[in-house]
Amino acid sequence: MSPIAMQQPTPPKASVARVDAGAPQRPAYACSHCQACGFNNFPPADVCPKCWSEKAELQDLSSQGVLYSYTTIGSADALQYVGYVDLPENVRVFGLLNTKQAPVCGVPVTLSAVRAPGSGPCFVFDLTARQGA
């Protein structure tokens, strides 16, 4: 009896995040855009999860979004906030919120980094509106 050959999965061609060489302080990140049905998927995929088409291309996402929801993590003396951000391309991403005050859902946020200091890949958003104003 011969063993079944296991085929190694090929990694997706799509890259989630990159830093532009011309502006290293301003990260860019991408989703896959299906040319068949128009669906945007994050993280990027080679096959559209909506229509199963293989006609996906990378599309850069906006660095501006709106805070959809958030939660608090940490202890009373070291609170951090994380949340979901809605982007104009109909994509929702999760990331760290760079603020010391409790955020308010619905405020604009700006992507400031794709890697938090001392951590692996994650999105870091700065709140761009005044809290409580």
**What pLDDT tens digit does each residue of the chain (133 aa) get?**
455 555 544 444 444 454 444 444 445 688 899 999 999 998 889 999 999 999 999 998 898 999 999 999 987 778 889 999 999 999 999 988 988 888 999 999 998 876 666 666 678 888 875 444 4
Cα separation, 53 vs 45, whole angstroms: 11
pTM across the whole model: 0.71
- Contact (CB, 8 A) for 104 and 131: yes
Side chain identity, residue 85: V
Return the number of other C-beta atoms located less than 10 Å from residue 5's C-beta. Answer: 5
